[in-house]
């Protein structure tokens, strides 16, 4: 029972943690600085929280579906529009901020740009500081400028440090399977994984193609281990 509450082991090395930490710090700094040059530091600092949270995803888990460019650009646009509309109609209260966050989640799920910091961004925009409130609808360009600068930094830094971003679609490895083997042990494909994920009716932050690659890699290690065990028994 207690084991379910314990965190799973992180399958990355300290060098990757350092790479992600440096990228997160630089990306947040750049996006806030760019926004401040156009809209002022007070407005830019008001967006620091959501941008920093997004930077963690873009640099630490850049292969995840939540960290792809459309996820941040689309979700920030949705959060900005919804928050400003709610603030204009219902006022800037805690209740309207929570309502804006909930509406944002529904919209970004529908548009396939789920990005958790967008919920916080919607609340931040409804309960904005006086400088941001004075901008009115001009606050939306400030939000998109910060998001665009962060994505640009992620594109440059991740690829410069040999981490492919955006992830994009990957081709499945070509594996030959005989008819007899296919009937006995059918190979799992990305299409099968997509259907299985749909059956579970839960969101998992991994693309079916990436999961397919992981399964094939695990199968390869299993075959090597099996061959090694067979050879070891023959030697004995």
HEC secondary structure over the chain: CHHHHCCCCCCCCHHHHHHHHHHHHHHHHHHHHHHHHHHCHHHHHHCHHHHHHHHHHHHHCCCCHHHCHHHHHHHHHHHHHHHHHHHHHHCCCHHHHHHHHHHHHHHHHHCCCCCCHHHHHHHHHHCCCHHHHHHHHHHHHHHHHHHHHHHHHHHHHHHHCCCCCCCCCCCCCCCCCCHHHHHHCCCCCHHHHHHHHHHHCCCCCCCHHHHHHHHHHHHHHHHHHHHHHHHHHHHC
What pLDDT is attached to residue 3?
A: 67
For the chain, domain boundaries: 15-160, 179-235
**pLDDT digits 0-9 by tens, 3-46:** 677 776 666 788 888 999 999 999 999 999 999 999 999 999 99
- Cis, bond preceding 75 (omega within 30 deg of 0): no
> How many residues in the chain?
236
**37: which 2 tokens?**
């040059």
**153: which 2 tokens?**
């930094």
> Contact 63/35 with Cβ under 8 angstroms?
no
What pLDDT is attached to residue 5?
A: 77
What pLDDT is attached to residue 7?
A: 74
What pLDDT is attached to residue 232?
A: 66
**pLDDT digits 0-9 by tens, 192-226:** 766 766 665 555 556 666 666 667 666 676 766 67
Q: For the residues 132-161, what does the mean pLDDT come to?
A: 95
Q: For the residues 147-159, what does the mean pLDDT come to?
A: 96
User: Is the pLDDT assigned to residue 191 strictly greater than 90?
Assistant: no
User: Is the pLDDT assigned to residue 81 strictly greater than 50?
Assistant: yes
What pLDDT is attached to residue 145?
A: 97
């Amino acid at each position: 029972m207690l084991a379910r509450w314990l965190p799973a082991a992180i399958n990355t090395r300290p060098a990757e943690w350092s790479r992600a930490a440096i990228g997160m710090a630089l990306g947040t700094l750049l996006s806030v600085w760019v926004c401040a040059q156009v809209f002022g530091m007070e407005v830019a600092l008001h967006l620091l929280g959501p941008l920093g949270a997004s930077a963690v995803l873009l640099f630490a888990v850049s292969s995840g579906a939540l960290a792809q460019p459309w996820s941040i650009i689309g979700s920030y646009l949705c959060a900005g529009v919804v928050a400003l509309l709610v603030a204009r109609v219902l006022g800037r209260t805690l209740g309207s901020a929570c309502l804006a966050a909930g509406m944002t989640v529904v919209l970004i799920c529908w548009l396939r740009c789920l990005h958790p910091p967008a919920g916080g961004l919607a609340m931040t925009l409804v309960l904005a500081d006086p400088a941001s409130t004075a901008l009115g609808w001009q606050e939306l360009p400030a939000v998109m400028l910060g998001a665009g600068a962060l994505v640009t930094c992620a594109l440059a830094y991740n690829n410069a440090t040999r981490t492919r971003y955006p992830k994009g679609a990957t081709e499945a490895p070509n594996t030959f399977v005989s008819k007899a083997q296919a009937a006995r042990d059918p190979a799992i494909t990305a299409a099968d994984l997509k259907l299985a994920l749909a059956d579970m009716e839960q969101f998992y932050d991994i693309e079916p193609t990436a999961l397919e690659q992981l399964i094939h890699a695990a199968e390869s290690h299993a075959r090597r281990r099996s061959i090694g065990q067979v050879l070891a028994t023959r030697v004995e």
